[in-house]
Amino acid sequence: MTGLELRQRTRTSRAGRPSRVDAKSIVDAAIDIGLSRVTLKQVAERLGVTAPALYRHVRNRDEIVKLAAIELALNRTQAGGSGGQWPDLVQGCAHGMVELFVAEPQLICEVMNGTLGPDGEMDFVEQFLAAMAGHGFAPAESIRIHHAVAMLAIGAAVSAIAMKSGYAGGLSHEESVRKALARRSRNELPLIRSALPAYLHIDSGQWRESLDTLVASIAARRGEPAPGSRTPQKRNTRNTQVEPPKRRSQP
């Protein structure tokens, strides 16, 4: 049962006079507010009802976040790429996850706390397995690939979120590092100081290299040539003034 079907069941199980609000509108409101900030009171105010009215459709805030997370994940999976070759599917899945977690950092906390449970994950993993099966992948192999992609994506998202949080606090990564070093004796951290330019430079797209390596290793196991032009590289051809020049300008 998908998130949409779960909401539909909740909606149709209520007999009698039509309600001014239903589970779908609750979830849509939560997504609009943002899962890291959503409260029952905010959802109720947005929908023009009282908070107790929401309990006819959802049990608590955790269920709202769970249903919204399922909806977001399914939408990202569907948009991440259902056509093309299997490397496109793998990379589309990875990019969709990173974009989702960066847009909704609260989801990472929900995953770590086990709040979401397996229901939502199983829905979009099933879609991923079905898409990969069309390219000859057995379900068990696709599940291992999905686990590897998820670990990469969560790490990439955490790094990106941390960078954004640093800027929101008023200091860039470089400023924070230089202030921290200034508080230390000049004899401390000699190895970091010797490679300070590399330490200061954080490439937010570095995780894509690991993703490329993963895709190449999958191809090697299948006896296929490594994909020569992968999704992130194709995307960068339209923005050659953004990332490639920065990499070429490094000493």
Task: For the chain, list the domains and their CATH numbers.
Answer: 3-170+203-240 (1.10.357.10)
pLDDT for the residue 245: 34
- Nearby residues of 71 by Cβ (< 8 Å), 6 or more positions away: 3, 4, 27, 31
Tell me the pLDDT tens digit for each residue of 135-167.
999 999 999 999 999 899 999 988 888 777 666
pLDDT over threshold 90, residue 216: yes
Model confidence band, residue 24 (pLDDT cutoffs 50, 70, 90): confident
The Cα angle at residue 138 between residues 135 and 143, in degrees rounded to 5 = 105
The pLDDT assigned to 78 comes to 54
Query: Average pLDDT for residues 120-148, to the nearest whole number?
Result: 89
**pLDDT value at position 74?**
64
- Please tell me the distance from the alpha carbon of residue 125 to that of residue 147, in angstroms, as a whole number: 10
Write out pLDDT tens, residues 37-53: 889 999 999 999 999 99
What global pTM score does this model have? 0.64
Contact 98, 157 (CB under 8 A): yes
Dig out the tokens for 113 from the structure. Answer: 């706390």
DSSP assignment of 36-58 = TT--HHHHHHHHTS-HHHHTTT-
- Regarding predicted confidence, which is higher, 140 or 96? 140
